[in-house]
Amino acid sequence: MSDQIEFRSHVLTKHRLALESLLFFNSCQARVASCIADAVETFGAPEIVPEGADRLRVRIDGMQEEAQALFAVEAATGRPVGVAIYTRPDLEHIAVLHLSISAEYAAGGPRSDEQLLLRLLREVRRSTRRMKGVRRLELYYARGRMPASRWRSESKELA
């Protein structure tokens, strides 16, 4: 089961519609709509941009720091089924600003047993461990309705 999903830093251009659907028209967004609205208001909206001739990446429009994206893709097709958009606001923290998981992999979906959200966050954490000085991975959506101004100093830590 787990070998059916790969984690990549890009999505091929031919999967643009699937990526747009995942990011902007995801049926699971209603579950965290207020968190999404807060994140967009605080950091900016995700934007799909071309990278080279055949790749796409996601950036946060208007954000001074460069955002990174990690995509969960189906190994057989390359179709994106999950994405985590994150940044490094300071030397010690990685902040996950946006998350999106395809409905089929989300809670209640037919493939929910693959725990894609948890695996995606673990992969972000694993990839950021190589960065010198990073001590915490913070999840913006889990900040408990804390005002954005206090979030950076009092965010929750993933174990």
Q: What confidence score (pLDDT) does residue 55 get? A: 95
Q: Which letter, b or e, does each residue of 114-130 get, where b requires 16 or more Cβ atoms within 10 Å of its Cβ?
A: bebbebbbebbbebbee
Q: What confidence score (pLDDT) does residue 83 get? A: 93
pLDDT (tens digit per residue) in 86-143 = 887 777 778 788 888 998 998 888 998 999 999 999 898 888 777 777 777 777 766 5
pLDDT (tens digit per residue) in 32-88 = 666 667 777 777 788 898 998 899 988 887 766 678 899 999 999 999 999 999 887
Tell me the one-letter amino acid at 18.
Answer: A
Q: Greater confidence, 33 or 153?
A: 33
CATH number of 2-154: 3.40.630
Q: What confidence score (pLDDT) does residue 20 get? A: 92
16 is written with which tokens?
């643009």
Bridge partners of residue 136, in order along the sequence: 93
Q: What confidence score (pLDDT) does residue 24 get? A: 86
Tell me the one-letter amino acid at 142.
Answer: A
Q: How far is CA 115 from CA 2, 19, 138, in A?
A: 9, 20, 19
Evaluate if residue 18 carries a pLDDT over 90.
yes
d(CA 132, CA 152): 19
Q: What confidence score (pLDDT) does residue 92 get? A: 76
Bridge partners of residue 12, in order along the sequence: 55
Element counts in the chain: helices (H) and strands (E): 4, 8
Contact 72, 116 (CB under 8 A): yes
Evaluate if pTM is beyond 0.85.
no
Evaluate if residue 154 carries a pLDDT over 50.
no
Domain locations along the chain? 2-154
